[in-house]
Copies of this chain bind each other. A is one copy, B any other.
Amino acid sequence: MNLKELSSYLGLSQTTVSRALNGFPEVSEKTRQRVIEAAKAHGYMPSQSARGLATGRVGAIGHIIPLGKHQMINPHFSDFMAGVGIAYADFGVDIVMKICAQDQELATYRKMVKSNRVDGFVLQGPLVDDPRMDLLQTMGVPFVVHGRSAGATQPYNFLDVDNEGAFERATQFLIDFGHRDIALLNGLETMDFAHKRRKGFLTVLQGAGIPVRPELMFSQDMSEVYGYEVATNILALPNPPSAMLCASKLVALGVMRAIADAGLVAGKHVSVVTFDDDFGFLGTHAAVPQITCLRSSLYRAGTRVAHMMMAAVDDPLGISTEIWEPELVVGKSTGMKL
């Protein structure tokens, strides 16, 4: 059933039916009701291709996932996407997801724009210097960044957590407990978020006059194994750290395992603080409810970004930015330095 059939069935013009369905004010309420009912009864839905062609809006937002950056195979990503997807549903918008080889990323953006596949993009995992913003800005396509990019030259829409401030607070929190030898198990520092966390960490250390120990600073893809191996190694140092600051709960889980394996107790012999993106499938809440963390919901970030995206499509010129402050949740993994 298409518009033509539906309207001839109703004895109305396509125009009137279209207007009735799209909520135009000039249609009489009586006609509108009749149209809406008939549409529902016959299961009429406008063809997205036709509508896209006519309006220039295709009702889809692009999410491009370069494989090999571990974005896809990664719970942080999934949780965020769930939030985005649920919010899009309210707008009748779809996710067009494109998974591509890493070196095809920019080309993929270009193709999707040229072929008019989407009305805009959500960018995830921004780097310190990220070429995507420039590309999309010169192409004139609306986009929203989850995170920020320190190297950006023009204003752009973004939603970020205050990574720098969060790690300042966490570091200060540990210092207040008397810790001076603090390890940093950061994410990859080409990523903007990790760059900012490192910055926050160093700012507070230096402010407190604590010498930086580069051998306690790590920057890697976040995984359980990474946490386990690094923690195992540094706990075996002649002068081991008394506290560890982790970039992800995944990493912290590995750290906790290493601490246990070393016969130590977290919160007593070693303090652990982690950034907690608060995701569900590992059941980490139940497993290790006790880790002190900076918490921010990726799911909620996703829904918010989706709303910002819709606004950006409606008004390509307006810029909106948001920075969220993570909550510091004190658990049992932190305590006074022995």
Q: Is the CB–CB distance between B85 and A97 below 8 Å?
A: yes
Q: Which residue of B lies closest to A55 (CB)?
A: B49
What residues on B are CB-neighbors of A82 within 8 Å? 67, 72-73, 99
Q: Is the CB–CB distance between A100 and B110 below 8 Å?
A: no
What residues on B are CB-neighbors of A70 within 8 Å? 280-281
Q: Is the CB–CB distance between B65 and A85 below 8 Å?
A: yes
Q: How many copies does the complex hold?
A: 2
Q: Which residue of B lies closest to A279 (CB)?
A: B73
Residues of chain A from 89 to 103 with CB closer than 8 A to chain B in the complex: 89, 94-101
A236 close to chain B: CB less than 8 A = no
Contact with A73, one of B43, B45, B79, B116 (Cβ below 8 angstroms): B79
Q: Is the CB–CB distance between A224 and B282 below 8 Å?
A: yes
Contact with A223, one of B50, B67, B98, B281 (Cβ below 8 angstroms): B281
Q: Is the CB–CB distance between B99 and A81 below 8 Å?
A: yes
Tally of chain A residues near chain B (CB < 8 A): 59
Q: Is the CB–CB distance between B226 and A48 below 8 Å?
A: no
A137 close to chain B: CB less than 8 A = no
Q: Which residue of B lies closest to A57 (CB)?
A: B49
Report how far A279 CA is from B75 CA in the complex, Å: 12
Question: What is the distance, in angstroms, from A76's C-beta to the closest C-beta of chain B?
Answer: 10
What residues on B are CB-neighbors of A116 within 8 Å? 47-49
Report how far A174 CA is from B88 CA in the complex, Å: 48
A310 close to chain B: CB less than 8 A = no
Report how far A250 CA is from B78 CA in the complex, Å: 17
Give me 8 A-to-B residue pairs in the complex whose CB atoms sit less than 8 angstroms apart, sorted by A's number.
A45-B111, A65-B85, A70-B280, A75-B75, A86-B99, A95-B97, A223-B283, A254-B287
